[in-house]
A and B are shown apart, each in its own frame.
Chain A
Amino acid sequence: KNEVEQSPQNLTAQEGEFITINCSYSVGISALHWLQQHPGGGIVSLFMLSSGKKKHGRLIATINIQEKHSSLHITASHPRDSAVYICAARFGNEKLTFGTGTRLTIIP
């Protein structure tokens, strides 16, 4: 069964802290997405990766294919980073299977 698990479910941190959100999946994938959803807002695709590491500004995404695990890191976190972060895996076909999301709150 294709499953995606995220942790933590909720995360509250002080401004400036280094943030890590984890995502594990059950079987081999062709790609993994990290998405961001602001309250009342739409979804923005942050990263799509199938191996290694990608960086965009203060955001870094890594994936370990052997361990079936991906992490999203935020350096120097800011209140505007507060959102729900969702990982989604593509298990060799075109459908995405989504994690339940991590609600991140950054306190000034």
Chain B
Amino acid sequence: GAGVSQSPSNKVTEKGKDVELRCDPISGHTALYWYRQSLGQGLEFLIYFQGNSAPDKSGLPSDRFSAERTGGSVSTLTIQRTQQEDSAVYLCASRFRAGIADNEQFFGPGTRLTVL
């Protein structure tokens, strides 16, 4: 498809388990972003990747959260030892290239994570 895709669309897990969320950006987009939308809260930035540069991890809420981007394309957000407060919709977005004013971010459909 032409858009950003994410999998799974829904994930239910038990507290303490690890989860992996996947994002496939639009082909050719070098910038990739992860955001989180908790219930009743606004969207918050987590991490972004631009090409081969070191990612900006400043939005990650704790060291239980990590993300990788392999080959400059697919990204995986990993949450270790999940807690109930991690329950949220995790959104991925991609952009042709960071640092250029006039190109937009395209958002994926999100992964709804529920930690029981």
Contacts and interface: CB of A to CB of B under 8 A. Distances in A.
Interface in B74-116: 91, 98-99, 101-110
Contacts of B18: none
Contacts of B56: 93-95
Interface residues of A, number: 22
Given A94-B56, A94-B98, A95-B56, A45 B44 contact: no
Interface string B42-63: 1111001010000010110000
Contacts of B101: 30-31, 50
B31 interface: yes
State the majority secondary structure of interface residues on A: strand
B107 A35 contact: yes
Nearest to A43: B107
A107 B58 CA distance: 42
Interface of A: 30-31, 33, 35, 41-45, 48, 50, 86, 88, 93-101
Closest 8 CB pairs of A and B: A42-B109, A98-B43, A43-B107, A95-B45, A48-B104, A100-B42, A98-B42, A94-B98
